[in-house]
A and B are shown apart, each in its own frame.
Chain A
Amino acid sequence: MLTPLTYRAIPGRHVSAARRITAMIPGLVILLALLWLAHELALEERIVLFRYLAMAFAGCMAFITPHMLFPDGDKTLVLQLNPSPRRLFLHHLVKLRALWLYGLAAIAVIAFGDSVNPAQDFHEKTRLFAAGLIALTAIILYALYRFATIGASSQRWNEGKSGRRLFESLDSVGKSIPVDAGMFPTFLSTILVTFVGMMVVVVSAAIPHMVLAILPFVLFLGYSGFLLGREIRHYDRRYYQSDAFYDELFTNPATGSKESREPASYGSIYWVPKRWRAAVWTQLVQLDRKRPMGRIIALLSFTYWLLIWLGTPESWHAGWLLFWILAKNMLAWPVSDPAISPPVFHWWMLPPRDWMIARFFLQTRWTLAFLLTVAAAALFSEAASWQAVWMWTLADVAVSAVSAWLLSRSNEFAFRRRYA
C-alpha cells in the first residue's frame, strides 16, 4: 500500500545506492580539492575564492540547467499524475536540488574549512556563508526562470517564425552563429545567466562594506523570486511547452532540420583497432548528437589557459585540470543509457568486455586535446612542467579506464548478470 509520503511526490527514476554513490564521487573529489585549496587561506582570500566560485557556479548553471530539466524522463508519469502548476514547479526545484546542495557544501568549505584558526573571524565566515547561500539560491532560481519559460520562443525560432532575418542577414555576409536556430533562445539565456550572475558578484566585490556587500545578492534573489513567482500560476504551460521543445530537439531525430555538424565518419575513427571501431563509432556519433563535446572541450581548455594568463595560483590550475578530466568523463555518461545503448542489442553485437574497451577508446578520444592543452602551458608559460604534462595525461587515461568500466558495468555487465 502506498503511503501519502510516496504518492504525493513525483520521484525520479529509481537509482541504486551504488549508482548514487558513484555519481557523488566527482562532487566529493571537488569538495576535497576545494578544502585542500582553502584550508590555510586568510579571510580576504576566502572571500576572493568565494567570488570565483560564485562566478563559476553561474557559468555552470547557465550550461547545465536545460540538461537537468529537459526532456523530463518522468514525463509519462507526470502525464498520468497531472500535477498542479505549483507541484510541477516543485518538481523542477527538486531536479536542481543536488546542484544547490553541492554549491552550498562548497561555500561551507570555503567559509569554514580553516585548519589554521577555525574559530577566528567566525562572524565574518558566517556572513560569507550567508552571502553564498543567497547568491547560489538566486542564481539557481534565475537559471530556472530563464530555461523553464523558454519553450514558446524556442519553438518559434526552431520553426523559423522568429530570427529568420537575423540568420539571413548573417548568411548574406558569409557569417553564421554557431547554434541551430531553435537553440538561439537557449544560447541567449546561457549568456544572460552567466553574465548576470557574474555581474552581481562583481558589483558585490565593489562594495567595501562587508555587510552591504551582501545587498546585491539579496536584490538578485528578490528579483529571481519575483520573476518565478509570476510564472508559478501558469507553470504547467511553461513546463509542457519547454519540455515538448527540448524533447523534439534532443530525442526526436526526425526534426526535419539538417544537422548543423556532420556526424563523425567511420573512417575518422581509424585510431581505434578494428574489432572495436564500429562500436566506438556508433557511441561517438550518438554522443556528439546529444552533447557538443568539441565545443565543451574547447571551453575547458580555453578556461585553463585563461586561469594561467590571469596569474591565478598554481593550485587553481591543478584544480581546473582535475575538473577538466572529470567533466569530460561525466559528460559521456549518457552513452550508458538504454536509449543510446539498448542492452539487448548490445548483447547481440559484442560481449560486455568489448563494450568496456570501446568506451575506453571513446573516453580517450579527447586525451590528445588534453595533452596539447597542458603542453601549451608548459611551452609558453611556467605554469606546467613537462613532467606534469605526462602525469596529467596518464591521470586522464586512468580516469577514462575507470569511467569506461563504470559505464559498462551499469549497462552491458548488468544485463549479463540479470539474464545470462
Chain B
Amino acid sequence: MSDFLNVENLSKRYGTGPMILSGMNHHFQKGTATGLIGANGSGKTTFLRLVSITAFPTEGTITFLGEPIYDAPHRFLKHIGIVTDATDLPAYLSANELLEWTLRARKKWDDSDSPRRMDELFERLHFDERRENLIGTYSSGMLQKTMLACSLITQPELILLDEPFRALDESSKKASLEMLNEYKSSGGTILVSSHLRRSLAKLCDDYITFPVREDASSPS
C-alpha cells in the first residue's frame, strides 16, 4: 500500500443533505497522474476541495506520507500546488509579482535562479508580455495559466487541478500537458479533474470515475 496519499473511508455531505461522497478508498502512488472523471455534480470538485483542505470530511481521513492532512494543514499545504477555477487572485498584482510572492512566502526564492525559472515557465505557457500587466485585466485562460504557473514554480510533490484546461487554447493546452508530464516524470504526483476524458488521455495513468449520484455511492 502506497504511503504517499491515502484516502480511507472518505465521506462528505453538505449539511444534512445527501452524501456527495460515501466511503471512498484509494491509494495514490507517487509519480503518477490520476484523472478524476465524472459528470457535473458527481463529486470531483468536492473531492479536490477535501484534499486541498478547503472542505473537511464528514467521515474518513486522508493521509499524506502517513500523516493525517487535517491535523496540520500548513505542513501538508507546503507539499502541494493547487489550480482551481477560482478567479479571486489579487487584481492589482501582475502574474510576475504573484509568482515572486508565492516563492518568497514559501521560502523558495533565489535571487539568481528564480527570475530565470519564472521566465522559462511563462514562455512555455505562452504567457507573453502581459505577465507584467495586472491580473485584474486577465481573461479566464490567462488566470488559469497564472494559477498553473504558481503551482509549478514551487515544485511541489502533489498538484491538484480542477478543470485546468477548460479556458485554454489548443497550444496552451498542449504546452500545459507537456509541462505536467515532465513534472510527473520528475516524481511529481497529479490529481486532475475533468468531465472530458479525452483531455486527460495524454497525461493520466489511472482514473477514478465519480458516478452520477442516484444515491450515495463510492467512486470506482
Contacts and interface: CB of A to CB of B under 8 A. Distances in A.
A255 B97 contact: no
A316 interface: no
Interface stretch (A81-89, A271-279, A403-411): A81-89
A13 interface: yes
A17 interface: no
Interface stretch (A56-64, A115-123, A155-163): A155-163
A182 B14 CA distance: 10
Interface in B91-112: 91-92, 97-98, 100-102, 104-106
Nearest to A158: B15
Given A73-B88, A83-B74, A237-B72, A257 B100 contact: no
Interface stretch (A126-134, A197-205, A241-249): A241-249
A20 to B, nearest CB: 14
A144 B46 CA distance: 28
A21 B58 CA distance: 43
B15 A256 contact: yes
A76 B101 contact: no
A7 B101 contact: yes
Contacts of B17: 254-257
B15 A159 contact: yes
Nearest to B84: A76
Nearest to A151: B56
Nearest to A235: B74
A195 interface: no
A97 interface: no
Interface residues of B, number: 36
A160 B100 CA distance: 44
A81 B91 contact: no
A236 B88 CA distance: 21
B105 to A, nearest CB: 4
Given A76-B89, A155-B56, A240-B73, A256 B84 contact: no
A236 B98 CA distance: 22
B16 A257 contact: yes
Nearest to B52: A79
Contacts of B74: 82-85, 88, 236
Given A8-B105, A13-B90, A85-B74, 9 more contacts: A2-B100, A11-B90, A76-B88, A80-B102, A81-B102, A82-B77, A88-B74, A155-B58, A257-B14
